[in-house]
Structure 1
Amino acid sequence: MANWQQILALDAKYNAYRAPSNPQFRTLYIKRRSQLLRENAAGDKDQSVRRDYLHTRARLLSTKYGSPAISDQGSIKSRSFSFGGRSISKSTIESLDPKLAESRKYHHRRQRSSGSVKFNLDGPMKRVFDSIEVVPTREAEASRAMAGGKSVSENYAFAGMHHIFDQHTDAVTSVKFANDDKSRVACSSVDGTLSVCQVIPPPATVICMLKGHTDAVSDFQWSLSNDIILSVSFDSTARLWNVASGECIRTIKDITGAELHSCLFHPLNNNMFVTGNSKYFVQIINVSTGKGYKGGSCKITGIGMSLAFDPTGRTLWVGDDKGSLSSFNVDLTNGKLIRTRSILFVYLFNSLCLFRISPNGSLQLKQRFSIRQKHARVRSTFCPLMSFRQGACVISGSEDMCVYFFDIGKEKKACVNKLLGHSAPVLDVCFNCDESLLASCDAQGMVIIWKREGKQGVL
């Protein structure tokens, strides 16, 4: 493995000790560290320099923080992270610490791709794109130990409903937990409002309602620091909301006057966001000025229903309602979009599809799962803690009013759990950061917070 990956793995190992009261800073630190290491890797001819640096930094961090405890569930050691197309796993981290390596031996299957990214794209095509970084083998002893000896279906068993929200008067189009936050969840609705709710500690409450849109709110995003929410609506506006006060701090009109269907903050620069509209345009907007970037608007083949960046923020994927997927290079200095690929697929109704993105940018179908999805905009997502278990999962809503869990490592009988409780099509699903709670929303405006069986916290 490249030395830069080992350096990043070492930093990730100790990341839980950096600014313990500020998880957003830790996330930004690792992302920026990854970016710098990647950018300098190509021109670094002398790998011995990096090896010496790695050993020196390991000694300094060990002297300052000591050796992180194995039982620290909040640390990086209990997870697998992907940066710049490479999966940084527990084995990589433990390779830097012989004591950990000796005490916890395991094997896992690794698949690499220089363009590896994870996407969750929704809409009539309902596709999920991913190059699977880490899926442990069934012989992985450490994986079984971390999962408590349980199967995937047992890990994703739920004890029942933690709370039910019904503050919206029409369909809830999207539900999202705040970044690295177990307790706050937000919802957007066709009734033109958004809501921010507190689910931990009980009793669960609605903190505030965000009112200002004059038509259905189709999509929204939390900012990286969770202090701002970006929303888009069929009223042709994007709005920025102060989460603490509930006030709208900026309204940005779509330059074409079209309905807005999707939005996404840039992963490294929250002063930049992207929208997709009903006139087949995808646009990059500057938050500070409220204006689009020159060269930051491109036409696609349909309504931009779903947006996804790769971890570097340099590649943008756009899924539309015509069954096409377009990719763009993003110039981070001037916000310019450069189309790189456009792929048209045959409609695959009633299915959730998992694709692999090859190094040259082409897509290969990896697996297909059966759900009910033909008319509604149904969304799916990866479970946030995917690795070091006997399998990895995606969850999906469905028009048959169920929430589905699929083990992406299985070709047959991949459905490991199904939650019943909604009385209308389930439109979106979302885990909190440690998978202790799951939120799902439906076309009648109900939001259900599900609680996982057993100990709350990291699996």
Structure 2
Amino acid sequence: MAAVWQQVLAVDARFNAYRVPNNPQFRTLYIRRRSQLLRENAKEEHDPLVRKEYLKLRAQLLAERYGTPPLSDQGSIKSRSISRNESFDSADMEGRTRRRYQSSSKLSPHGNILEGVVPTHAAEASRAMAGGKTISENYAFAGMHHIFDQHKSAVVRVEFAHDDKSRVACCSMDGQISICQVIPPPATVICVLTGHTSGVTDFAWSVSNDILLSSSLDGTARLWEVAGGKCIRTVEDAAGAEVLCCKFQPSNNNMFVIGTSKCQVSMMNVSTGKCVKGGSSKVLGRILCLDFEPTGKILWTGDDKGFIFAFTCDIATGKLIKTKRITVCESRPVTSISARTWMSRESRDPSLLVNCGVNALCLFRITSPDGGLQLKKKFPIKQKNQIIRSSFCPLMSFRQGVCVVTGSEDMCVYFFDVEKDQKQCVNKLQGHSAAVLDVCFNYDESLLASCDAEGTVIIWSREQK
């Protein structure tokens, strides 16, 4: 029964872009209320055949009222029926391959891959394994899987657990962190982590997903036990500064790094809660974001002055050495950094994806082992005032084209093919009624999560149920 109402919601979401097109707030309110009513009705006992007939009639009536949304319409929520076995088999294969490549790859002095499988331009076999679909078809979404609205303030960060299709967490400026289960339906909030006394600015899953790290405007970072929902350690910033971002050391989860409003980056020891020797450094501005390359040997930070600083990191001791300063755009904030060793067989450059408040998403090539960067491409989005984040689409190797996904202040989610020079936007999802602040796929790309400045989290489904 739950599966049927999810299909009804997906049909409504598919046509929602055509309902009062000049009033996005009403569209979001409508689909949110529709989701609530369908969830409530799903709890009651109904004849499954009646519900399925209702679904069929509902789809027919909407199609007659609004017409069938064309696949080429970039302003609508795209819809496509995909074979479940075809999509998930190739997705699982890609996920396993991705993890194997990332764990075995190293950078040459020129930033190329030395070990592991070297990407090549002859990737026809890989394309065939992906079913020969175009990049647009791969990212044609069926609609909304679920809508969460338990937070009362902006949800600034959303992230699926590592190698997990079903668990997603989000943090809010109301001081809370939610951990949610989205598969199997109905989606539910597993637990809400409370303890921060001010807005939560960032969080990160540990490699094994048993610990959650969070940062807050209350001047602390906290470590949470996921299973019990309890805070197991509170780390206060030595200078009493707001903690604006955090990340586990990917090769040593007994360490994590924080960035603060007093321009300080610090490597902390999980066991002691103290900064490691040589693990602290200052930059020019408030540190809004940071990320490691996959081996943990390079750390980048982005600040509100428009600079990215690169550090080399000793995995054993946590010592940080500042190596590079890269100017993105002076006086405009760098709000998101996401590193990728390589993106596909046809895009072999290690890359850094960067949001900056200049109405652009920037893609940098990593040019040296000490974190040097070279601008490769820019993609147009709306961003001037908000902290907008983006990410690489996680699957690689078995399809044509390479996609990145980002939020935007115009309330849309954008997908860009980084290999294209023209018509780079391959999809745009509409449904939020406020600026979209963060986006994240689960590891097999069957679901996408996005969050906005009004506290709504939308889970998008790539496949028709």
How high is the TM-score relative to the length of structure 1? Answer: 0.72
5+ long unaligned stretches in structure 2: 1-88, 333-355
Match of 1:181 in 2: 164
Match of 2:337 in 1: none
Q: 1:83, CA displacement in angstroms?
A: 4.4
Q: Deviations over 1:329-362 (max 9, x none)?
A: 1123322211111122324600001010112643
Q: How many Å separate the matches in 1 of 2:304 and 2:104? A: 29
5+ long unaligned stretches in structure 1: 1-70, 88-111, 118-132
Match of 1:160 among 140, 143, 146: 143
Find out whether 1:304 has 2:304 as its counterpart: no
Find out whether 1:387 has 2:383 as its counterpart: no
Match of 2:233 among 250, 256, 260: 250
Q: How many Å separate the matches in 1 of 2:359 and 2:431? A: 20
Match of 1:339 in 2: 322
Letter in 2 for 1:400: D
Letter in 1 for 2:254: N
Find out whether 1:171 has 2:189 as its counterpart: no
Q: How many Å separate the matches in 1 of 2:278 and 2:265? A: 11
Q: How many Å separate the matches in 1 of 2:317 and 2:368? A: 26
Q: 1:79, CA displacement in angstroms?
A: 3.8
Are residues 401 and 113 of structure 1, via their aligned partners in 2, closer, same or farther at CA, if it must alter by over 3 Å?
farther
Find out whether 1:352 has 2:352 as its counterpart: no
RMSD over aligned Cα atoms = 2.3
Are residues 79 and 410 of structure 1, via their aligned partners in 2, closer, same or farther at CA, if it must alter by over 3 Å?
farther
Match of 1:232 among 203, 215, 224: 215
How many residues align? The count is: 346
Match of 1:262 among 208, 221, 245: 245
Match of 1:452 in 2: 462
User: Aligned residues: percent identity?
Assistant: 62
Q: How does 1:50-449 map to 2 (within 5 A)?
A: 74-75=92-93, 79-80=97-98, 81-83=101-103, 85-86=105-106, 114-115=110-111, 140-346=123-329, 347=332, 349-359=358-368, 361-449=371-459
Q: 1:74, CA displacement in angstroms?
A: 3.1
Q: Tell me the SS of whatever aligns to 2:309.
A: strand
Q: 1:310, CA displacement in angstroms?
A: 1.7
Q: How many Å separate the matches in 2 of 1:352 and 1:233? A: 26
Q: How many Å separate the matches in 2 of 1:186 and 1:453? A: 22
Are residues 224 and 378 of structure 1, via their aligned partners in 2, closer, same or farther at CA, if it must alter by over 3 Å?
same
Q: Tell me the SS of whatever aligns to 1:150.
A: coil
Q: How many Å separate the matches in 1 of 2:363 and 2:95? A: 27
Q: How many Å separate the matches in 2 of 1:311 and 1:292? A: 22
Letter in 2 for 1:115: G
Contact 1:307 1:319 (8 Å CA) reproduced:
yes
Q: How many Å separate the matches in 1 of 2:413 and 2:95? A: 30
Q: 1:394, CA displacement in angstroms?
A: 0.2
Q: How many Å separate the matches in 2 of 1:161 and 1:274? A: 35
Letter in 2 for 1:207: I
Match of 2:24 in 1: none
Q: How many Å separate the matches in 1 of 2:433 and 2:327? A: 34
Q: 1:77, CA displacement in angstroms?
A: 8.4
Q: Tell me the SS of whatever aligns to 2:461.
A: strand
Q: How many Å separate the matches in 2 of 1:77 and 1:272? A: 26
How high is the TM-score relative to the length of structure 2? Answer: 0.71
Q: Tell me the SS of whatever aligns to 2:126.
A: helix
Are residues 350 and 234 of structure 1, via their aligned partners in 2, closer, same or farther at CA, if it must alter by over 3 Å?
same
Contact 1:136 1:387 (8 Å CA) reproduced:
no
Q: Tell me the SS of whatever aligns to 2:284.
A: coil
Q: How many Å separate the matches in 1 of 2:95 and 2:272? A: 41
Q: Deviations over 1:243-297 (max 9, x none)?
A: 1111111111011100010000000111100000000000001011011112211
Q: How many Å separate the matches in 2 of 1:153 and 1:76? A: 18
Q: How many Å separate the matches in 2 of 1:258 and 1:207? A: 31
